[in-house]
Amino acid sequence: MDPAGRPPTISPPPPRRSRRGFVGSLVRQATRSAATAPGRLAAIAVGLVTLTVLTGLVAALSLQQKVDTIDGLVTYDEPLSVAAQEIYRALSDADATAASAFLSGGVEPEGLRARYETDIARAGSALAKASADIGVAAGARAQVDVLSTQLPVYTGLVETARTNNRQGFPSGAAYLREASALMRAQILPAAQELYRMDADRLTRAQDDATDIPWLAVALAVSLAGAIVASQVYLTRTTNRLLNVGLVVASGAVLVALIWSTVALIIESVGVNDGREGGSSQVDALVRIRITALGCRADETLTLVARGDGPGYEQNFARNCGAVSGLGTPDDQLTRARHLADEAEAGAASCAIDAAIGNAKGWHETHRRIRELDDGGDYDRAVTMAIGMEEGNAAADFYELDTNLVNAIAAGRATFYEQTSKAGWALTGLVPGVVVLALVAAGATTMGIRQRLLEYR
Amino acid sequence: MRRFPVVLCAIALLAGGCGGVGAPPEPVTASSASRPLPEGVRFGDTAGGSQGGDTNCANPTASLRPGALAVAPGSTMATIAGKGRLVAGVDQNTYLFGFRNPASGRLEGFDIDVVGWIAKSIFGNGADLSKVVQYKVITSGEREDVLTRGEVDIVVRTYTINCARLQKVDFSAEYYTATQRLLVGKNSAVDGIDDLGGQPVCAATGSTSLAAIGAHPAKPTPVSVVNWSDCLVMLQQGQVAAVSTDDTILAGMLAQDPNLKMVGPALAAEPYGIGIPKGKEDMVRFVNAVLSRAMEDNTWQTSYNHWLGGTGQSAAPPRPKYRD
């Protein structure tokens, strides 16, 4: 219908007029038919059934989306963020290990070489995982490109350094510096960015999993309202107290509503527990681990540089309070401990406690290494930095790393358990809602058909 | 008639191009590889070069006359002896002069030997050098700074004596004479820096060589790096056409890679001296006495033969010049 205020000079184009004419005639027909009692009943039946089918469809789709999101959380988003952090960890550790191997002099110790090789193998494998699932995230592709093109270049430089070292040439150290610069300036930032993207996606997926499906809720509430209103109308016009069909339909809608609400509440609680006791912990611990790896690299590179030209020790002083375990304001380890306590993550708490002990020991050892080196006792400083015996920095650091790994594993287990449980809460809900919607639609049809028959 | 298939191909190509459905997606994004670069490399910039020629002074290589070899009470040497160690600014990346032996992890080379002579003169011949010498590895660009800040007692690091540096630090007498030359690939046609117009030539930041490249009329493109061994890396990676610096440093690179050759006429002489903080005259005289003795009693020659004997570099100790 034309709004009253429309200027008379503008007339609608002919095709629109004809469609409008068709719709208009339909509306006129319906209005005429609704003026009669049976017509009104038929209209109510069509309206209710349509609303029921629509509600059932929307509810089933949004619940299926939840099920998919939860499946994705445990099979896709979380493993992907773990792959991304493993890329960072392995590469950062490879860099620190290469520096340690260089410090140890001569042909590098078998253990360090093996550690480096394992790091590169794990980084490659994690990178393959990260690139296989790249499709959805456009920003991640750029990071994966940097990683996959520069990693072979890095390993090439390290091998060139190794060859020169074995021949006793100082150009080996130059190649190693170049490799380390490439790692720190290009590869590690890309890996860190990739991890950040994957961690953000995990958080977004968890938000999606705990969102209330508002459209479905609104439809279900209006459906319930419409059924009740129809029942009231029928009671008034037919003088019968209850229509069995509509009662069954109301029951089906009610059961669907209650079932969905309870299931979704259990699911949300599960996902939230998985986040607070699991993935948030893991994220905090991963960041700590990344910082600790950087600090270890700074520690060894200071000794490789022998004199603090490039400022590795300044880096250490600036960044490494975060992994000191001393409870200073910047200390992330102590904060992670509080987080774990709040989430009542017992296994993680224990591992973090142990890590705090290692971190304190490491920082004390680091202080002594600096004292020795600054005091002119370079050889003992090196021994203390790379020695694997108790009380040496390498031993402290590896223990710290192991305990962080344990805490991360505990967090991952919590995440997996809680999120899987959340998924179980939704078991059978989607087919259940579909069946209940069909029951409601069928019962509505039957109930009103019975009344309509009375007009024959 | 023979043109016909060509025409057909052209039509087919045109038809393919005009299909209107677009091109198939390109799954590979990388089209070229960038070669890695040493940390801190700079192109076309001589800001870090040490201009030796700009500041004129009469006879820069003439140092103070040698003093006694005994450590007098209250002297700078006595202070060093008192704190128990000699702090020496050295290099760990210049093969044959000051480098870290990757097999042992120890610093070695001709310059490191010179540090040893001085340390033994202060602490006695029986002193354990690994205990009484603290090496501080510095870059070319840091040499003046560590001396003026008093972070080291001496700098022995292929350190050319020139007037600009003499304004900030003191030098011992000359203990080695190097000359500027060029290092290029074995198959290179370059015969001197005149052939290198517009081409990248490498030198360390803070070296006289870097300033010389920038000032050369043939206008090569200066490429500055933190350590001399970075120049070798860039030459091996094909990123510079030549390395231009002292023949001593180049000889060390040549010893690490037989696919290179040293070319060009011997340009300006580069007299090496030991850097000492300004004003410590007693230390300068003491160090000069140590050097003078080493040149006379064959210590210098032994070290030379050990490190540089196989390289064909100047084989005789320089004749030190003194002023009073």
Do residues B156 and B293 both lie within one domain? Answer: yes
Q: Is B65 on the interface with A (CB under 8 A)?
A: no
Do residues B170 and B218 both lie within one domain? Answer: no
Do residues B152 and B295 both lie within one domain? Answer: yes
Query: B4 is written with which tokens?
Result: 């016909």
Residue to mutate among B136, B142, B143, B235, with most A CBs inside 10 A, is: B136
Max Cα distance, chain A (Å): 110
Q: Is B139 on the interface with A (CB under 8 A)?
A: yes
Kindly list the residues from chain A whose CB atom is less than 8 angstroms away from the CB atom of residue B36.
153-154, 157, 178-179, 181-182
CA distances from B181 to A55, B95, B195 (A): 86, 17, 13
More confident residue, B14 or B40: B40
Domain count, chain B: 2
Note the pLDDT of residue B271. Answer: 92
Chain B nearest-CA distance from A388, in A, is: 18
Sign of the CA dihedral B154, B157, B161, B164?
negative
Note the pLDDT of residue A2. Answer: 46
CATH code at position B202: 3.40.190.10
Residue B127: DSSP 8-state: -
Cβ(B129)–Cβ(B80) below 8 Å: no
The B residues from 105 to 124 touching A (CB cutoff 8 Å) are: 105
Indicate whether B31 belongs to any domain: no
Do residues B90 and B200 both lie within one domain? Answer: no
Do residues B159 and B197 both lie within one domain? Answer: no
Do residues B95 and B173 both lie within one domain? Answer: yes
What single-letter amino acid sits at A437? A
Interface size, chain A vs chain B, as Cβ–Cβ contacts under 8 Å: 108
Q: How large is the ipTM?
A: 0.86
Note the pLDDT of residue B9. Answer: 64
Chain A nearest-CA distance from B110, in A, is: 15
Do residues B248 and B138 both lie within one domain? Answer: no
Note the pLDDT of residue A223. Answer: 93
pLDDT tens-digit series, residues B96-134: 999 988 888 889 999 999 999 999 999 999 888 888 999
Going from N- to C-terminal start, the domains of chain A cover 258-304+317-456
Indicate whether B5 belongs to any domain: no
**A50-55 own/partner pairs: CB under 8 Å, 24+ apart:** A51/A219, A51/A222, A51/A223, A51/A226, A52/A223, A52/A249, A52/A253, A52/A437, A52/A440, A52/A441, A52/A444, A53/A437, A53/A441, A54/A219, A55/A216, A55/A219, A55/A220, A55/A222, A55/A223, A55/A253, A55/A437
Do residues B113 and B262 both lie within one domain? Answer: no
Residues of A with CB under 8 A from a CB of B: 102-106, 141, 145, 149, 153-154, 157, 164-175, 177-182, 185, 305-307, 309-310, 375-379, 382
Task: Decide if A164 and B232 are in contact by the 8 Å CB cutoff.
Answer: no
Task: Decide if A174 and B232 are in contact by the 8 Å CB cutoff.
Answer: yes
Which residues, at least 6 apart from B313, have a Cβ–Cβ distance to it below 8 Å? B178, B247, B248, B251
Determine whether domain A258-304+317-456 maps to CATH 1.20.120: yes
Do residues B74 and B170 both lie within one domain? Answer: yes
Enclosing H/E stretch for A105: none
User: Which domain-ending residue is among B269, B291, B306?
Assistant: B269
Cβ(A81)–Cβ(A202) below 8 Å: yes
CA distances from A181 to A141, A166, A292, B203 (A): 23, 22, 18, 19
Return mean pLDDT, chain B.
87
pLDDT at B313 exceeding the cut of 90: no
Note the pLDDT of residue A3. Answer: 45
Domain span holding position B157: 63-177+270-314
| β-bridge pairing B269-272 and B176-185 | antiparallel
- The residue of chain A nearest to residue B29, with distances taken between CA atoms, is A145
Do residues B209 and B154 both lie within one domain? Answer: no
| β-bridge pairing B221-225 and B200-204 | parallel
pLDDT per residue as tens, chain A (456 positions): 444 444 445 444 555 445 556 777 777 776 777 677 788 888 888 999 999 999 999 999 999 999 999 999 999 889 989 999 999 999 999 998 988 888 887 777 888 899 999 999 999 999 998 888 766 567 888 899 899 999 999 999 999 999 998 888 989 989 998 999 999 999 999 999 999 999 999 999 999 999 999 999 999 999 999 999 998 988 888 777 788 899 999 999 999 999 999 999 999 999 999 998 889 999 999 999 989 998 998 898 888 877 655 678 888 999 898 888 888 888 888 888 888 888 777 788 888 999 999 999 999 999 999 999 887 788 889 989 988 888 899 999 999 999 999 999 999 999 999 999 999 999 999 999 999 999 999 999 998 888 888 876
Note the pLDDT of residue B10. Answer: 59
Chain A nearest-CA distance from B155, in A, is: 13
Residue B205: DSSP 8-state: T
Indicate whether B295 belongs to any domain: yes
- The residue of chain A nearest to residue B142, with distances taken between CA atoms, is A309
- The residue of chain A nearest to residue B133, with distances taken between CA atoms, is A376
Task: Decide if B102 and A182 are in contact by the 8 Å CB cutoff.
Answer: no
Task: Decide if B256 and A171 are in contact by the 8 Å CB cutoff.
Answer: yes
Burial class (CB in 10 A: 0-12, 13-18, 19+), A398: middle
Chain B nearest-CA distance from A184, in A, is: 10
Task: Report the alpha-carbon distance of residue B193 to residue A420 in Å, rounded.
Answer: 71
Confidence class for position B223, pLDDT limits 50, 70, 90 = very high
State the average pLDDT over residues B228-252.
93
pLDDT tens-digit series, residues B18-61: 556 788 877 777 777 888 999 889 998 776 556 555 557 888 88
Q: Name the one residue in this structure whose structure tokens are 């005259």.
A: B281
Provide the strand spans (E) within chain B.
Answer: 42-43, 63-64, 86-90, 93-94, 98-100, 107-108, 133-137, 154-155, 169-171, 176-185, 200-204, 221-225, 242-246, 260-263, 269-272, 275-277, 322-323
State the average pLDDT over residues B266-284.
90
Q: Name the one residue in this structure whose structure tokens are 């038929």.
A: A42
Task: Report the alpha-carbon distance of residue A301 to residue A311 in Å, rounded.
Answer: 10
Do residues B236 and B298 both lie within one domain? Answer: no
φ, ψ of residue B225 to 5 degrees: the values are -130, 170
Global pTM reads 0.83
